[in-house]
Amino acid sequence: MRIIHTADTHLGNAAFGLSRLLEDPSRPGIIVRQRQLDIQKGFAAAIDAAIKARAELLIHSGDLFDSSRPPAFALNFAMSEIRRLTSTGASVVVVEGNHSYPRDPALGHALQILAHLERVYVAYDEPRVFELLGMKVHAYPHRAVSRGVWPKPGQTGGGLNLLIAHGVADGQLFFRGDRPAPEIRVSEVANDFLYVALGHYHRLAQVPQTGNAFYAGATAMVTWGDFHAGGRFGVILIDPASDEPVTRVDIPTRTMRAYGVDDATGLNRREVLTLLAEQERQFGAVDANCRIAVEGLDPLVRRELSVRDVEEIFRAAAAIQISLRAREQRWEAVQAGLTEAGQLGDRFAELVGQLDADASFKNDVQVLGDSFLEQAAEQLSDLDAEEAAR
């Protein structure tokens, strides 16, 4: 008996953000983001892994679709890929996740449509028990778990049992996602099951204090919250007869790379861009999902530095996320910083000299700044005089 566990494929996700645009190979003339195609390829790769492993069952523990009303192309893609697997004789069990359940029950459920496929079993609204491969597969969908429906210890009554659910195992903070999901008491029932297949957390992980409860993780980077430099996505192969009954199977994953400057204090615009360009030369961004973060920029430099400047350096990337943050400045910190290297006027002149601009512009800034510093000095002097007179 060989089983593939996958989850959180989020088909239909539009993958908003800075991403390469290209034609969808399956829909001529339709332009989509690269990340949207990556999400589809992730699900197809999970099916490939199941076929290669000659799995008799694939279990999907929630969020097959990114929403309760997936676009028609996503539904068609899911059905085509599932049929590619079931044509080998394998069965598929899919449970409802927190993204894919309808808030209005009157709309119906996308999983109802999948249930019309041969050897496909779905669980939505209420728990279901499917008898497959000589065992019982207990599927607990999001809506039921949200109402507090959950198996009690010893409830299975013996035999081979498998549990599928979508939620936050034992309230562990690191299993939470960007959208609320119910807490599920995994460790107290895990010993009643051969394996506990979980969804919601987008990285492969084992639930603490259990030996058989796992999150399979997503099959591609769905949001930037899934970004992990150098990380990979995959599925889990369960083979009780093997020396390793639970093993990770990596699937093709787009490279994820991180770039940036942890503390850009004192750097001007040109120096920041030079550092980023050097990083990109050393660790190429071509076809990668790239996160660029620059922290601690001087406020004047942050105003000069544009996202487009950074985009140009990483134009060969498949998708990028850019964060340019100025260091927080309060008046006391500004005053202390200005006076740290000498008189206010001298320090201001030094900052103006760091501007990446022509001499005429620098001169205008210097004149304007000197005027403001004089006004500030006069006001502070008046305040000191008032304080002394009290």
Question: What are the structural domain ranges in the chain?
Answer: 3-250, 255-328, 340-390
Homologous superfamily assigned to 3-250: Metallo-dependent phosphatases (3.60.21.10)
pLDDT band at 388 (very low <50, low <70, confident <90, very high): low
3-state secondary structure 102-170: CCCHHHCCHHHHHCCCCCEEEECCCCEEEEECCEEEEEECHHHHHCCCCCCCCCCCCCCEEEEEECEEC
Provide the residue count of the chain: 390
pLDDT digits (tens, 9 = 90+) for 145-160: 999 999 999 888 778 9
pLDDT score of 26: 86
Cα 52 to Cα 177: distance, rounded to the nearest angstrom: 31
Q: How many CA atoms lie within 13 A of 131 on its CB side?
A: 3
How many CB atoms are located within 10 Å of the residue 217 CB? 24
Backbone angles phi, psi at 122, to 5 degrees: -130, 150
User: Token pair of 143, please?
Assistant: 């809506």
Q: Mean pLDDT lowest for which of 114-123, 257-266, 280-289, 372-381? A: 372-381
Mean pLDDT on 279-306? 95
The token pair that represents 146 in the structure block: 């949200």
| DSSP sequence for 187-219 | TTTGGGSSEEEEESSSS-EEPTT-SSEEE---S
8 A C-beta contact, residue 318 and residue 254: yes
- For residue 195, which of 181, 222, 214 has the smallest C-alpha distance? 214
Q: How confident is the model at residue 122 (pLDDT cuts 50, 70, 90)?
A: very high
The whole-chain average pLDDT of the chain stands at: 89
**What's the burial of 92, exposed, middle or buried (CB within 10 Å: 0-12/13-18/19+)?**
buried
228's tokens: 């992990």
> What does the pLDDT look like over 341-370, one tens digit per residue?
456 677 677 777 767 677 887 787 888 887
